[in-house]
Amino acid sequence: MDTKQNTALLRALTELPGPLSARGVIHIAIRHTDRFTVVGNDLAQHPGLSTTAVGFAVRIQSLPQGTEVGIKALAARFPEGEKLIAAALRELEAHGYLQRARTRLPNGRIVTRTVFCNQPAALLRPRAAATPPQLPPAARPITTHAQASEPTVKPEASPEPDPQPEPTPDPPAPLAAPPQAAAPPFVRLVPPPTAPKPPRPPLPRPRELTPELERISTALLSGLRHHAPQFTLSEEHVRELVPGVAAWLERDAHPDTIRHTLTINAPEPVNYPYQFVKHRLTVLLPPPLPGAHDLTPPPARRNPVTPFQTCDGCERAFRAPTPGHCRDCRTEDEQRATAA
């Protein structure tokens, strides 16, 4: 089966001026008018960069300002994997095309800022002094050799009609600066460090602090230092934490369970044992145990059963909510009433 030919490409080849090359690439250059990016040969033909790195450099150069160009952002946009993208970015960094630096924003957040330069070698060359603006070719005075050697006084010639003065072309209007797009408004994604923090939940309290609950809670808090020396509480802190332990005991929590919950997986060291114990008593409070009525399954719903009735006329059994006649007897009574 023959390969399908591109007729438009073949027609464009016939319109190229001059003889075509017998081998190698033949360029058909069509001028771009919109949506294009200028790429220099120092990047496109860089001998030290791989084709993958050159491709990603062109893609990054074509993206608008502010576009995320991290490894994960590029992997989500293009089919290459993260390892290949990371290797290409390292190549561009090594040759000066790309620079990544961590920057702290005013709100304290640390972000990675990426800077891309299309000609890193030009940054190393000394800057030339500012030159006066050159006039466009249309506005420059043209002086030829013949005009320079022409005498200032011309001989008299036969009178001829005065030629009409040629209209002077208007000077080209200055190019207006392209309108700059307004920067997008800054949207704060995290609260500032000075934002007010939400109030902490209060320490749980029992419905009634009985002397028995108070005695067990005090003994449990005072004995924490025997199980973990870092949980040594002062007498005042023990008195303040007693209602929280009493709330756990009121919900049928065993003292060993409370002690294990307060001391398990504690950091080393515990700098503020009072705050640590208060936080766990508040956040890890178990729910009340369900009662017997909570565990009783709901009664099964039954469909109402229509009882049997005995017909007053033919004494036949039929289903009906109230006594009376069956359907046949009611039909015969209606027919007799109609005939009469």
More confident position, 5 or 149: 5
Nearest to 56 by CA among 94, 16, 87, 25: 87
User: What pLDDT does residue 147 have?
Assistant: 45
Q: Which residues does 214 contact at the CB level (< 8 Å), separation at least 6?
A: 242, 246
* HEC-encoded secondary structure of 169-232: CCCCCCCCCCCCCCCCCCCCCCCCCCCCCCCCCCCCCCCCCCHHHHHHHHHHHHCHHHHCHHHC
Nearest to 262 by CA among 246, 280, 242: 280
pLDDT bucket at 248, cuts 50 / 70 / 90: very high
Span 153-210, pLDDT tens digits: 444 444 455 555 555 555 555 555 555 556 566 555 555 666 677 888 899 999 999 9
pLDDT bucket at 212, cuts 50 / 70 / 90: very high
pTM over the 0.95 mark: no
Measured in whole angstroms, the distance separating CA 193 from the mean position of its chain's CA atoms is 22
Structure tokens at 122: 């030009």
What sign does the dihedral 300-303-308-312 (CA atoms) show? Answer: positive
Structure tokens at 76: 């989500």
Cα–Cα distances in Å, from 287 out to 53, 225, 249?
Answer: 59, 27, 11
Span 105-158, pLDDT tens digits: 888 888 777 888 888 877 776 665 545 555 555 545 444 444 444 444 444 444
Residue 236: phi, psi to the nearest 5?
Answer: -65, -40
Span 270-324, pLDDT tens digits: 889 999 999 999 999 999 888 777 777 777 777 778 888 888 888 888 888 888 8
Range in 23-37, 122-136, 214-228 with the lowest mean pLDDT: 122-136
Span 71-98, pLDDT tens digits: 888 888 888 888 898 899 898 888 888 8
Q: Which residues does 84 contact at the CB level (< 8 Å), separation at least 6?
A: 52
